[in-house]
Chains A and B, each alone.
Chain A
Amino acid sequence: MTAHRPGSAAPAEPGTGAERTSTSAPVHGTGTDDAAGGTTARPKRSGHGFLRYLVQRLLVTVGLLLGTTVIGFSLVQLAPGDPVAANLSDAALGNPAIVAAFEEKWGLDEPLPVQYVTYLGNLVQGDLGTSQRTGRPVLTELLDYVPATMEIAVPTLLISLVISIGLGLLSAIRNGGAADQTVRVFSLVGLSTPPFWLAILALYLFFFVLGVSPSGGRLSPQFSPPEPVTGLYTVDALLQGDVLLAWDAAQHAMLPILVLTLVTVATLTRFVRSALLEVLRKDYMLAARAKGLSSRVVLTKHLLRAGLLPILTIAGLTFASLLAGTVLVESIFSWPGLGSYAYESATALDRSAILGASLFIAAVYLGVNLVVDLLYGLADPRVRLT
């Protein structure tokens, strides 16, 4: 989770800054109605607004995706050493035919712009290169590892959201009180803890001292993986009706989920708290209380309605950074996910594998971002109708 910078994510996501502000400006100017009770201003509604918003977001996302490939390509270029040697195993290097085929495929004897186009063409076809370590296509490998990460990332996100919204709400409405102080200290400690260290502590405590948790991996040795449907062992096992297998898979997932949740809650709570505090300061919250509504209605209807949108944005970003954040935790729990893959590729200096993993995560990040933006557009009338 180190990768997920607590604060930078909120202003960080492309497209939620200037663009969004501009789309949420009021439609009418002031002063169109006048003295006797004006008859000119009527609510206006336009069906094209959201479509334009959608197209705009799509274009921005495509542009950013292209940009990430430029960064990826530049890294390959900037990296010292011979790309052939960096991508082929020693055995393959000894075979001139393989070397020639590799050079031709990536256009290595062409000028740089042509090389980039070739690189892009290969990427579009799903060719992220070949892992030097395993000799398998990087994309195939990624697709093997991703479900394992999902099995811990999805529950982590859901649990963290529930806890963070609860704690953030408590902290915001008791701003400055004892509960708020406690939540903030917890959050601060969580933010300052290296997640991999926390993972080691958790493993020491729950596996070595208490003996209630397995040491790592997705299943105990006596079990074999269920028929892959979703790739999530717990779900697949339940689909097969094998409760024991599902329980074993769940037990293995618990500790990674616990560690990731602790770290995620720390960052998310901070966000939820400040998002809700911002809403609480608004005049319309005072106005809602002045209307004599009960606190329950004011909190659930007025506060959460306005606060959920920023929280939704953050949740999307958190999910994307969870995929990256698992890097440091998975390796400790021998969890064969995206993080382990990136870690093993990095330590083996397997360049195409680690670049493939980065581009994949960046693409997921941008995709999630796009979805969040669109949801935002659907949920906020100011974006929807302009």
Chain B
Amino acid sequence: MTRTHSSLTELTEEQEAATVTPSDDPAAPRRRWWQARTEASRIWRQPVVVVALLVAGAWLVVAIAAPLLAPFDPLQQSSDVYASPGGDHLFGTDALGRDVLSRVIYGARLSIPLALTIVLCALAFGGLLGLVAGYVRGIIGESIMRLTDLFFAFPQIILAMAVAAAFGPSTLNAVVALVIVSWPIYARVIRGAVLSIRSEDYLNASRMLGVGPVAALRRDVMPNSFGPAVVLATLELGNSMLLLAALSFLGLGPRPPAAEWGAMIALGTNDISRWWVSVFPGLAILTVVMACNIIGDALRDRFDPQSVGGR
């Protein structure tokens, strides 16, 4: 069947419906991730997404400018124990008289870079395995995917606890533990993206034109896996933040007296009546994670919704 004939007759009902959108060019070829301009600009115009971006941006500023913003030294103990919020201490003080606001501000310096590190390491490791598994099929690809199945059988937090406990509690070990438990999802998603691209006609075409596998990987596969990877990484950023907080809540993260949000929440359990000790770090986690989730959702809506699976 010739090209013209198919363009005349073979568009599906779905495409027919899609052509209703005025800005849509019905004959546009497969879009790459950066080409979805019209939809993207629409997404950034949603107020919720704008707020999420502002919140995320504000936290980044807080993390960078913590010494300028924090009214006190986050580790400085004082005799002013369990001061209520207000007055000198806007968020109150904890059991050792440390300023909760300053600790929340400095916490951003710890939690955000750590979560980013976890996501980047897991993305690099899982993504690489996913690329290989999608591109080299047969025994190697299969084994990689069975290995990810295996990791999915462990509930993340439990495996992370086991790893962190086995290696001993420290910031580095918490990060290692979380990378170990979070790489499989990247492998799965990236492999899925590679497989879907592999079957595309233009890849076959370029193979027929003599483009080698490495060149095809660089030219076609990598750019097209980029969208799903970005979406997943954004969504996983929030998840990593929650897991990191959970580990340090359990005492398996950064060692005291480090101002880590999860560990700060744990301090609140000592005296349940001093609500401010745990409420403010909790709010910090909630806002950052929510911002990540909203941005991730918006990104996913922008990219092919199928590519990130059921997340």
A residues in contact (CB < 8 Å) with B:
2-15, 63-64, 67-68, 70-72, 75-76, 78-80, 188-189, 191-194, 196-197, 200-201, 203-204, 207-208, 215, 271, 274, 320-321, 323-325, 327-328, 331-332, 342-343, 345-347, 349-351, 354-355, 357-358, 361-362, 365-366, 369
Residue ID in chain A nearest B147 by CB atoms:
A67
Instruction: List residues of chain A with CB within 8 A of the CB of B250.
Output: 327-328, 331, 343, 346-347
Centre residue among B242, B243, B265, B269 by max chain A CB count within 10 A: B242
**Chain B interface residue count, Cβ-Cβ cutoff 8 angstroms:** 58
The smallest beta-carbon distance between B16 and chain A, in angstroms, is 13
Q: Is the interface of A mostly helix, strand, loop or mixed?
A: helix
Residue pair A5, B272 in contact (C-beta under 8 Å): no
- Of B159, B252, B268, B286, the residue contacting A193 (CB under 8 A) is B286
Q: By the criterion CB–CB under 8 Å, are B286 and A75 in contact?
A: no
DSSP majority for the B interface?
helix
Answer whether residue B149 sits at the interface, using C-beta atoms and an 8 A cutoff. Answer: yes
For B285, give the chain A residue with the smallest CB separation: A194
Complex-state Cα separation, A4 to B311, whole angstroms: 12
Contact with A along B148-166 (1 / 0, CB 8 A): 0111111111110111111
Report whether B156 and A5 are in contact in the complex, using a CB–CB cutoff of 8 Å.
yes
Q: Which residue of A lies closest to B155 (CB)?
A: A324
Interface string of B86-113 (1 = CB under 8 A from A): 0000000000000000000000000000
Give the tally of cross-chain contacts (CB within 8 A).
Answer: 193
**For the complex, what is the distance from the CA of A213 to the CA of B99, rounded to whole Å?**
31
Tell me which residues across on chain B come within 8 A of A365, comparing CB atoms.
153-155
Instruction: Provide the bound-state CA to CA distance between A71 and B148, in Å.
Output: 12
Contacts of A10 in B (CB 8 A): 309-311
Contacts of B252 in A (CB 8 A): 346-347
Contacts of A207 in B (CB 8 A): 272
Q: A3-B243, A3-B246, A271-B310 are in contact. List 12 more A-B contacts (CB 8 A).
A: A2-B243, A5-B185, A10-B309, A75-B163, A76-B166, A79-B166, A192-B292, A203-B272, A325-B155, A328-B249, A347-B252, A365-B155
Which A-chain residue is minimally distant from B152 (CB atoms)? Answer: A12
Q: Which of A4, A196, A274, A361 contacts B249 (CB 8 A)?
A: A196
B243 CB to closest chain A CB (Å) equals 6
A327 and B161 contact, CB distance less than 8 A:
yes
Q: Are A349 and B168 in contact (CB under 8 A)?
A: yes
User: Which A residue's beta carbon lies closest to that of B169?
Assistant: A349
Task: Supply 19 A–B pairs (Cβ within 8 Å), ascending by A.
Answer: A2-B243, A12-B188, A14-B153, A64-B149, A64-B150, A67-B150, A68-B153, A75-B162, A76-B166, A189-B290, A194-B265, A201-B275, A320-B155, A328-B246, A346-B162, A346-B165, A358-B161, A361-B155, A369-B153
